Structure 1
Amino acid sequence: MERKQLMKEFKERFNYEGERVFFSPGRINLIGEHTDYNGGKVFPCAITMGTYGVVKARKDNKVHAYSGNFPEVDTIVFNIQDLAFKKEDNWTNYVKGMMKYIQEQVGELPHGFDLYVYGTIPNGASLSSSASLELLTGVIVHDLYNLDISRLDLVKLGMRTENEFLGLNSGILDQFAVGMAVKGYAMLLDTNTLSYEQVPVDLPHHKIVIMNSMTRRELVDSEYNTRREQCEAALEQLQEVVDVSSLGELTEETFEKYKHVIKDDVLMRRARHAVYESARTDRAAEALKAGELDLFGKYMNESHISLDEDYEVTIEATDLLARSAWKEPGVIGARMTGGGFGGCCIAIVENDEVKSFVENVGSGFNEKIGHEAEFYIAETADGAKEWVDNE
């Protein structure tokens, strides 16, 4: 997206020039799915697909917000002193939630602003468009009002917006990746302690290919919250015999020793995924650091199988993409990424095989599912920030 085009679209909407431009990335999770709310390890990186925002301060207490992605919605107007959730306020509830919790922390903001937003993340693709918008809002508000609030606090307020304002019991993975990312790196994050390590994503002979099933998933209306409840129920039973506060604290050996106390097979499988996936993520990050890409791919494949069989968050379309990818020449590994129930998969593919990979996986998908998948090359990005003129 060109800065000049964004400024032009702001002016067409608001009839005057915008002042500042911001960008907030989307994210992929290389491995470590549904472990964040279980206190386990995750391994995400930010990508160059994301959300742009052009902003100019107003003199009153109103926010006028318009999305170039939803022109049928028109401009939505709200008062910064009235930030209650309203269904009719559509996508701006993400903006309102962030502003509500920021004001709770730093006090009432002095004025509103006009905001033009344009996102390049496909809707419902599991590439974290919601966290991208939340952190875009957080960085805009932080910079516009010169607030004394840390980036980590903005990340936490993004998660709070999801959990409390919008009612989705997700963990901190998405907001942390979007807010704290560094271009060229993935983050090995311990979601229990929030300690993290930046690990280089050095793939000179390979590309990370995003495979979009074009099957939109709605996490709030799905079984996402149910998975969290199931894990919490399994944890409660394990806590009768093991002193832990989260599934992520358990080793595979300890889990195997005590899993018999989980009386329900479904709960046992949910917990097994959380425990094994966290450990697998740790090992995968070590493999990537050591340049053992084939081993990293093996862990990706194992992750997908666990998500399919133990956690049951794949659907036919995403499972087909991953398993089709495994059969193609030059593929190191492939797995579902994101919350599941639709969305995207990722694959690591040798540079020379990318074209045939896309053709073969795409044609097989279309033949079986009845519509086309989309494919994108993932490039890493920095976390949410102002887009300055020389970038």
Structure 2
Amino acid sequence: MNQKLRKTVAEQLVRTFGPGEPLILGRAPGRVNLIGEHTDYNDGFVFPMALDFEIVVAGRRRADRTVRLLAVDLREKVEFSLAEPIVFDEHFGWSNYLRGVLKLLQQSGAELPGMELAFAGDVPLGSGLSSSAALEVATAIVVQRMTGFGIERPALAKLCQRAENEFVGMNCGIMDQFISMMGEQDHALFLDCRSLEYRQIPLELGAYRIVVCHSGVKHSLVESEYNRRRQECEAGVRVLAAHFPEIKALRDARPEQLVACQNELDPVVYRRCRHVISEDARVLESIQALNHGDLVRFGQMMNESHDSLRDLYEVSCSEIDLLVELARQVPGVLGARITGGGFGGCTVNLVAEEAVDRFTERICRLYREKTGIDARIFISKAADGAQIIE
């Protein structure tokens, strides 16, 4: 809980736009996905937790139809009118996450007033910890409170995902917005991305901690390669469905069905499908391991997940692979893997509490020696999802 951040956002809105209506403050967390990567847009299973890093949005009504947006950290502001259609902003790209949410709320029947919205956060940008989803979700709950628009939280998360898909142009799955909206303290969230059925799973780690390592890199091909992976998965489904009509998405396919179609599949597409099918199975096995208190098996699943993402899905990079390699060499580390969309960002690690200091020193020193980049280390407990701050 970052009280200073919340105070800063509120003060900056008033300082920038002057006096006005009472403020509504909302927060939404970033997330780390413990396991289940690139499965969400294949109707599969994911297992993320909300982090205790957040985006805070302050908002208030205006008497006219003008919308003013303020990015506190960037010291940038934009303005547009609701008397005209909400359009994509080529210059201030950050504003499109808010614009998209407003447009989708409008299309869903919300009566939007003019408003002022300001935001800032402590979710590391470009880290793969879903600062964009947190911004969308925090915006959505503030505007929902402002308008009284009636919509259930899972549906509001879905609306935020559509805003990123249809307005921002990033073809993400539902996981990021859903965990930011629905997270629960001391729990990770098992989500069926087809039905949106979910279960809060107690994250009973005993003497172990979730440690996130930020690589300090984000390669520029992430968006184009992400969308290409989706296309490759869809190509695989078309071949599989021709033989097995019950397969509507890769989540429906069994390993033996994939093997039966191997000769008809492009080798790259085959590898992509093999990752997704095995990753869904790993999510289910990981939750079973947690339920039995078997953290060693949970860590093994994390390791297998990374190896699959590196070799079959090919979304890792040399810096991330180095972080994982260094982590696995530290006594007391049960598992280490890439998390997020790939091509940089972060790793997530399951580390014995007594080994965290040793882990941090070794990773930072050796990573710096080999890359010249300073890794950043975050330790987080599972946090609550989005909330209006009363």
User: Shorter-normalised TM-score: what interval?
Assistant: over 0.9
For 1:221-253, what per-residue CA distance to the aligned partner results, in whole angstroms no more than 9, with x for missing partners?
431100000111111111121121000112334
Q: How far apart in 1 are the matches of 2:221 and 2:291? A: 33
Instruction: Give 1:271-350 correspondences, 5 Å limit.
Output: 271-350=273-352
Cα distance change of structure 1 residues 220 and 368 upon mapping to structure 2, 3 Å threshold: closer
> Which residue of 2 is the match for residue 371 of structure 1?
373
Partner SS, residue 213 of structure 1: strand
> Which residue of 2 is the match for residue 246 of structure 1?
249
Q: How far apart in 1 are the matches of 2:222 and 2:358? A: 36
After TM superposition, the structure 1 stretch with the greater mean CA deviation from structure 2, 82-91 or 325-334, is 82-91
* 2:2 paired with 1:28: no
* 2:362 paired with 1:360: yes
8 Å contact from structure 2 (residues 250, 273) kept in 1 = yes
After TM superposition, the structure 1 stretch with the greater mean CA deviation from structure 2, 181-190 or 78-87, is 78-87
Q: How far apart in 1 are the matches of 2:100 and 2:222? A: 16
Q: What TM-score do the two structures reach when normalised by structure 1? A: 0.95
> Which residue of 1 is the match for residue 175 of structure 2?
173
Which runs of structure 1 show a deviation greater than 3 angstroms over 4 or more consecutive aligned residues? 3-6, 217-222
> Which residue of 2 is the match for residue 159 of structure 1?
161
List runs of 5+ in structure 2 lacking aligned partners. none
User: What's the Cα RMSD here?
Assistant: 1.5
Q: What TM-score do the two structures reach when normalised by structure 2? A: 0.95
Q: How far apart in 1 are the matches of 2:380 and 2:201? A: 17
Q: How far apart in 1 are the matches of 2:207 and 2:221? A: 35
8 Å contact from structure 2 (residues 170, 223) kept in 1 = no
Q: How far apart in 2 are the matches of 1:259 and 1:349? A: 40
Cα distance change of structure 1 residues 7 and 159 upon mapping to structure 2, 3 Å threshold: closer
- % identity of equivalent residues: 38
Q: How far apart in 1 are the matches of 2:168 and 2:264? A: 31
Which amino acid in 1 is paired with 2:8? Answer: Q
The Cα shift of 1:358 comes to 0.6
The Cα shift of 1:219 comes to 6.6
Which amino acid in 2 is paired with 1:247? Answer: L
After TM superposition, the structure 1 stretch with the greater mean CA deviation from structure 2, 16-25 or 310-319, is 16-25
Q: 2:8 aligns with which of 5, 8, 12?
A: 5
> Which residue of 1 is the match for residue 74 of structure 2?
70
Q: How far apart in 1 are the matches of 2:139 and 2:30? A: 14
For 1:31-73, what per-residue CA distance to the aligned partner results, in whole angstroms no more than 9, with x for missing partners?
00000011111001111112001112111111111112211xx
Q: 1:88 aligns with which of 91, 103, 106?
A: 91
After TM superposition, the structure 1 stretch with the greater mean CA deviation from structure 2, 181-190 or 81-90, is 81-90
List runs of 5+ in structure 1 lacking aligned partners. none
Partner SS, residue 160 of structure 1: helix
Instruction: Give 1:107-256 correspondences, 5 Å limit.
Output: 107-109=110-112, 111-217=113-219, 221-243=223-245, 244-256=247-259
> Which residue of 1 is the match for residue 52 of structure 2?
48
Which amino acid in 2 is paired with 1:167? Answer: G
Partner SS, residue 217 of structure 2: coil
